[in-house]
Amino acid sequence: MTNNQINQIKQIVKKARRNPLLADDMGSGKTSQAIITYLLMLEQGLVHRLLVVCPKNVLWNWVKEFQKVMHPDILLNAVVYHGIARKKTNLATADIVLITYETLRNDIDKFKTIRWGLVILDEIHQIRNADTSKCKATLEVQGDYFMGLSGTPIVNSLADIHTIMLRLNPTILGPRSKFDSEFASGGNSWGGSRKYIEASWAYNKIKEKISAVMIRRDPEIILKDLPPFHRIHRWVSLDDTVQGKNYDALLEEGRLEFTDIKSGKIKTIEVRAHVLALFTRLKQQANVDFATGQSAKIDYIEEMLEDEILGPDPVNKIVIFSQYVGKGLDPLEARLKKWHPLRIDGSVDPEVREQRATLMNDPASKHRVLLAQITAGGEGINLEGVNFAMLFDLWWNEAKHQQAFKRIRRMTQKRDQHFIIVCTENTIENKILDIIERKNKAFAGVIEGQVDGSGFTMDDFEEAMFSSGYTQSSKLKEEKKKKKDILLI
């Protein structure tokens, strides 16, 4: 352990009485630091029983980290409270309990009656929505001390950090009504719910309020000894393809539907959900043609792997992230068989997930490609043996992209890392990137060095829908001519 890490742990222990938020960047060793902090607090007599609550996909990663850090002479009864076997677990004799947010929610009646010394909430942004039963369950847990871990405490809006502080330090940001009156405006142009301010002054004010309990080292200092990383954008044309022609037809249909939704001609209770479904169709069509299964993206990726990444260098490995299974992981897996792809999606058991990550990290393994659903493999997984990461499609904010990319940017990384974003030209993917980059430039962020995490508003969706072009050059020319005729009139 480096001096920098030791000093960090001393700082965490010092702030532990105030329920800190450990917000170091992804890949900087938050899990091991949290475990060592617990052991130091245990040694000082501050705590005894530990409850670790984490997402399902990192449960077994915690087991591995405990095995790395715990000395054989430390005699503590640790249990993984998960699956059907959990019903037989005797919590009364357990010193350390590892549990997922979902299981805690389901079994909260059993857990809320126990007093814990320290409660660690890993990836605490998982409870950012105060209205969910998952968040409400964590509020019922009793503990002497709490600690939150997250490299991206703000994912969608400023409201995220308020919910996190509600669990850790509710007095710092005060009640939600007061917070909203200061940092939220009225409904957007759709008449929706309150919209949180997206401006640097608001971020800086909140940053100042939580600075007493937030611990975050400068990511550049932490990672200064790592080999460099390279961010690469690659563009794929759909011009003169069946996939592109079908995309353009879907776009025209979507614009009409979008206009009808906004005008009220189409009545729907969940407007945002309906619009998201509309955009999902367009994003999936940009990946793979619904009618024929054709994919210019996969054609390009297959060629890129052969000519630039895996073919020329037998030690290179790559993880490819997609939101989707049927229009993402499935066709990628079918086309990339020669590279012996492994796969992590929502159906993969956490223990199997760790086994597949271990195989990818093994330089002697034949597996050169990992296909990961971004919601299942985009956080809490260590891919130190992989030096390329690729986005097959885009999420709605940069924070999610960074979480995914930093699976390979680890403290133990020995090689240059390459982060590749593959997008289709003249589609809504262009506009999604434009809007994300604009938001990133606009906000300093609560967390120093963290990109803006705010998701798309309804106005952003409207901009993306109506300012993106067509994939076919003939369509683009026709659209430009129409605009010119309008100007002449």
For every residue of 224-279, DSSP letters joined together read TTSPPEEEEEEEE--TTSHHHHHHHHHHHHHHHHHHHHHHTSS--S-HHHHHHHHH
Which of 409-430 are b and which e, b meaning 16 or more Cβ less than 10 Å from the residue's Cβ?
A: bbbebebebbbbbbbbbbbbbb
Instruction: Using the structure block, give the residue that is written with the tokens 């044309």.
Output: 237
Judge whether 213 and 168 are in contact, CB under 8 Å: yes
Residue 78's CATH number: 3.40.50.10810
Query: Is 116 inside any structural domain?
Result: yes
Q: What is the pLDDT of residues 144-167, one digit of tens each?
A: 999 999 887 877 778 888 999 999
The answer to whether residues 245 and 214 belong to one domain is no
Which of 195-211 are b and which e, b meaning 16 or more Cβ less than 10 Å from the residue's Cβ?
A: bbebeeebbeebbebbe
Query: Is 489 inside any structural domain?
Result: no
Q: What is the DSSP letter of 147?
A: E
Residue 37 host element (H or E): helix 30-43
The pTM for the full model equals 0.68
Lowest mean pLDDT among 21-25, 142-146, 232-236: 21-25
Q: What per-residue confidence (pLDDT) applies to 216?
A: 79
Judge whether 424 and 327 are in contact, CB under 8 Å: no
Judge whether 262 and 462 are in contact, CB under 8 Å: yes
The answer to whether residues 71 and 164 belong to one domain is yes
**Which of 53-62, 178-187, 303-312, 348-357 reaches the highest mean pLDDT?**
303-312
Q: What is the pLDDT of residues 256-269, one digit of tens each?
A: 988 888 887 777 76
Last residue of a domain, one of 164, 198, 222: 222
Question: Range of 13's domain?
Answer: 3-222
The answer to whether residues 205 and 251 belong to one domain is no
At CB < 8 A and 24+ separation, what contacts does 167-175 make? 167/121, 167/124, 167/127, 167/135, 167/138, 167/139, 168/19, 168/20, 168/21, 168/124, 168/213, 169/18, 169/19, 169/210, 169/213, 172/209, 172/210, 172/212, 172/213, 173/206, 173/209, 173/210
93: CB partners within 8 A, 6+ apart: 77
State the total domains in the chain: 2
Lowest mean pLDDT among 253-262, 338-347, 470-479: 470-479
The answer to whether residues 44 and 176 belong to one domain is yes
Q: Percent of the chain having pLDDT more than 90? A: 42
Judge whether 390 and 321 are in contact, CB under 8 Å: yes
The answer to whether residues 216 and 264 belong to one domain is no
Say which residue, 188 or 73, is predicted with more confidence: 73
Query: Is 484 inside any structural domain?
Result: no
The answer to whether residues 342 and 407 belong to one domain is yes
**Alpha-carbon distance 151 to 462, whole Å?**
30
Say which residue, 426 or 267, is predicted with more confidence: 426
Query: Is 487 inside any structural domain?
Result: no
Query: Is 131 inside any structural domain?
Result: yes
Based on C-alpha coordinates, what's the Rg of the chain? 24
Last residue of a domain, one of 222, 239, 260: 222
489 pLDDT band, cuts 50/70/90, is very low
The answer to whether residues 140 and 178 belong to one domain is yes
Lowest mean pLDDT among 31-45, 236-250, 269-283, 462-476: 462-476
**What is the pLDDT averaged over residues 346-373?**
92
The answer to whether residues 61 and 163 belong to one domain is yes
Of the candidates 103, 92, 76, the one whose C-alpha atom is nearest the C-alpha of residue 350 is: 103
Residue 77 host element (H or E): none
**Alpha-carbon distance 102 to 137, whole Å?**
9
As given in the structure block, the two tokens for residue 471 are: 């994939």
Of the candidates 14, 4, 9, 5, the one whose C-alpha atom is nearest the C-alpha of residue 145 is: 14
The answer to whether residues 283 and 137 belong to one domain is no
Last residue of a domain, one of 193, 222, 251: 222
17, pLDDT greater than 90:
no
∠ CA 55-58-61, nearest 5°, is 150
Residue 353's CATH number: 3.40.50.300
Q: How far is CA 343 from the centre of its chain?
A: 18
**Alpha-carbon distance 290 to 452, whole Å?**
33
The answer to whether residues 113 and 203 belong to one domain is yes
Alpha helices in 264-397 (DSSP H): 271-287, 296-304, 330-335, 350-361, 374-377
The answer to whether residues 170 and 256 belong to one domain is no
Residue 70, phi then psi, degrees to nearest 5:
-65, 130
The answer to whether residues 188 and 244 belong to one domain is no
Query: Is 446 inside any structural domain?
Result: no
Query: Is 439 inside any structural domain?
Result: no
Judge whether 47 and 41 are in contact, CB under 8 Å: yes
Question: What sign for the dihedral angle of Cα 358, 363, 365, 366?
Answer: positive
275, pLDDT greater than 70:
yes
486, pLDDT greater than 50:
no
Query: Is 23 inside any structural domain?
Result: yes
